[in-house]
Structure 1
């Protein structure tokens, strides 16, 4: 996660996600996610972004071939504190242009265009400082994903639950290590998958540091 501060109220952010399955032996997903953010106050952050996603065949019900997705999204993060504990509420609307998998007469799959799907995500995050004036902290979140049609919820999609520990290297750099439990409804709408994941992340900020909920 790399962030570049343009102005006290504006910054650019980029994320790269490398997700592996079966230990590190197989690809699960690759995500590149740039975004532009406006900081209304240290308690409110609004952004628009784009995600390029490649999903690979993995798990007990694998998709038949690697499938691309172009994902445009709008997001708001609202923050507050109770004592020393920080709370973040993240709301994200996604317009997902997903690759359509088509099978020919010989059983060979290919991508035949894209179709639009909508999704809403809500994440509640708690940040609990534990040592060295908050440089060591515990982070936990739960995020629910809901499929939509014309902005109306239609079906459950995923749920992520996370618990981890983080360390602030300085005012710009942070590292985190945690456990993510992902419960996923597969694209066929029938099968479900449970993905226990070890997650390691690095974040760094460039440019002048504005007030921010991040």
Structure 2
């Protein structure tokens, strides 16, 4: 579905179109409320891996290869499981239900859902051959994985739980200083004189 269109974050109907085109590939059909106005909730798959430490796979490895090297335990999430914080638990990696086959002009970024932060659970998404968390390169094809680290108390999660969300983006929607000045002149962005370097 690579197509010309406006730059910026894709709205709900464009996210649905990505799924219809097979560029978002859920292993099970989407939940009725999973597509949000400008994001898609990501769901935990049926298994979690407790690993020795957080990691990024780097440009030459997949997440599955790194899990194989670092895993301590495999945990079945189909009926729910307790993930422990701190020394007795720590870092868990969960393959997500949603996989991607993005067109070359679509990238994505992920972040925890607000409810996840309120529970003091640290999460971030990892992709194959990546050097950054929570960043999905344009044209990425492959599995998504969620790193989960409970911070304060144990949590119960199960397959289908939604702890993180993804936003899809076409192009670079950032404005340079000249464009910001022009936009501010048309529609004030801040009170007073904006401090934009000349």
Q: What is the TM-score with the length of structure 2 in the denominator?
A: 0.28
Q: Of Structure 1 and Structure 2, which has the larger fraction of its residues in helix? A: 2
Q: What is the TM-score with the length of structure 1 in the denominator?
A: 0.27
Q: Of Structure 1 and Structure 2, which has the larger fraction of its residues in strand? A: 1
By relative contact order (CA 8 Å, sep 6+), the higher-ranking structure is 2
